[in-house]
Amino acid sequence: MHKNERQALIKQIITQHTIRTQEDLLKRLQEKDITIAQATISRDMRDLKIIKTIDESGKSKFTLYDPSFAQKQEEKDKLINLFNDIVTKIEHVQFLTIIHTLPDNASLLAAMIDDVHLPEVKCSLAGFDTVVLIVSDEEHAIEMENYFTEIWEKRMNESDKSLENRVEGK
C-alpha cells in the first residue's frame, strides 16, 4: 500500500472511530490487513497533523488538527469570558433570544456573537444594554436561551464556590 493510500485510510479511521492510542490505530489497520511499523504510524500521524484532544467524557483521543477549529474555540472562549463579565439577564420571546448586559456593552457582545457564527443565530441587534438574537423559530430561541443560561449559571456557581472558599479560608 502506498503512503498516500495509507494516510487516507488513517484519516478515515481517526474521523470515524474513537482512537485513543497508536496501538488502537494499529489494531484498526490490522483489521484491514495492513501491517506497518510503529515508527511509520508516528510519521504518518505527524504528517497528517493528528493531535490528542479531550472528548466529552474527559478522555484523550486522536483527532485531525484543524486550525480553524482552534481559532473558533478561542473565539468561543472569549465570548464566554465576556458573557460572564457583562450579562445581567437572559430570556426569550417567541423566535427572539434577549440578552441584557451592563450599560454600554451590548454592541460588543453582539459583535462577539457574530464572530463565533452560531448556526442558530440569523441576526443580532444591539442597543445600549440589550442584545436581541433573531433565530428561525421559538424552539431555537429556547435552545439559545438555554445555551447562554448554562454559561451564565456556571459562572454564578463558580463565583459562589470562590466566595465560600474565601470565607472558609481555603
Query: Do 86 and 161 belong together in one domain?
Result: yes
Which pLDDT tens digit goes with each residue over 20-64?
Answer: 999 999 999 999 998 889 889 999 998 998 888 777 677 888 888
User: Into how many domains does the chain fold?
Assistant: 2
Which pLDDT tens digit goes with each residue over 96-136?
Answer: 999 999 999 999 999 888 888 888 899 999 999 999 999 99
Query: Do 98 and 150 belong together in one domain?
Result: yes
Query: Do 150 and 74 belong together in one domain?
Result: yes
Query: Do 39 and 73 belong together in one domain?
Result: no
Distance CA 114, CA 52 (A): 29
Distance CA 3, CA 23 (A): 19
Distance CA 120, CA 136 (A): 7
Where among 33, 65, 97 does a domain terminate?
65
Cell numbers of 153, please?
449559571
Whether the model clears a pTM of 0.85, i.e. scores above it, the answer is no
Query: Do 74 and 127 belong together in one domain?
Result: yes
Range of the domain at 117: 69-168
Distance CA 77, CA 85 (A): 12
Give yes or no for a contact between 26 and 62, defined as CB atoms under 8 angstroms apart: no
Query: Do 93 and 57 belong together in one domain?
Result: no
Query: Do 61 and 73 belong together in one domain?
Result: no
Where among 22, 38, 65 does a domain terminate?
65
Query: Do 90 and 158 belong together in one domain?
Result: yes
pLDDT of residue 118: 82
Query: Do 93 and 14 belong together in one domain?
Result: no
Query: Do 31 and 73 belong together in one domain?
Result: no
The one-letter amino acid code at 43 reads: R
